Amino acid sequence: MLIDLSSLKEVGSRKSIDRKIELPDLSYREQEIGIPFPLDLKLDMYNTEDSYTLTGSLAGNLVLTCSRCLERFEYKIDIKINEELMKDEINNISEFDISSILIEHILLIIPIKPICSQDCKGLCVQCGQNLNEGECDCEKDIIDPRMAKLKKLFDDKDNEEV
């Protein structure tokens, strides 16, 4: 998204933006982040002596994949933006692209392991059934093969006492 900073000529001048923006879907840490709906951007830009200050918010819904059940779900965001752009680092003030700043803020608020709800039951480790949709017929008494010897040891001890 391009913004025009050229109208902020004098130190102390201010400009506001309030619009819906569209960003492309993202892929981060092998996770697909869908942005199917326009996001609400509210931004105030100030000209300071050495920089342009951007403050505001970015709000809307993303679509993420639950790390427990692998279902897609909507994730509400409301990001506070506070950036300082140094004037000597900006090449073209009449067409400055802030998309990378917005994407960076989105990536920073994505949970490492997103879940669709706190009570998500996930998938059955044996058959892959989504346990939110119903139970499966798998045996629930699964023993870690690394611990099987210990279980046998305790079973032998119980038999000796009888």
Q: Please give the Cα distance from 56 to 44 (Å, whole number).
A: 6
* Mean model confidence pLDDT for the chain: 86
Q: Which pTM does this prediction carry?
A: 0.76
Q: Residues 68-122: pLDDT tens digits?
A: 999 999 999 999 999 998 888 878 777 888 888 999 999 999 999 999 999 999 9
Q: Which of 32-46, 54-68, 103-117, 125-139 has the lowest mean pLDDT?
A: 125-139
Domain boundaries, the chain: 2-109, 123-162
Long-range contacts of 88-96 (CB under 8 A, 24+ apart): 88/50, 90/5, 90/52, 93/4, 93/5, 93/6, 94/4, 94/5, 94/6, 95/2, 95/4, 96/2, 96/3, 96/4, 96/5
- 49 vs 59, residue with greater confidence: 59
Q: Are 108 and 101 in contact (CB under 8 A)?
A: no
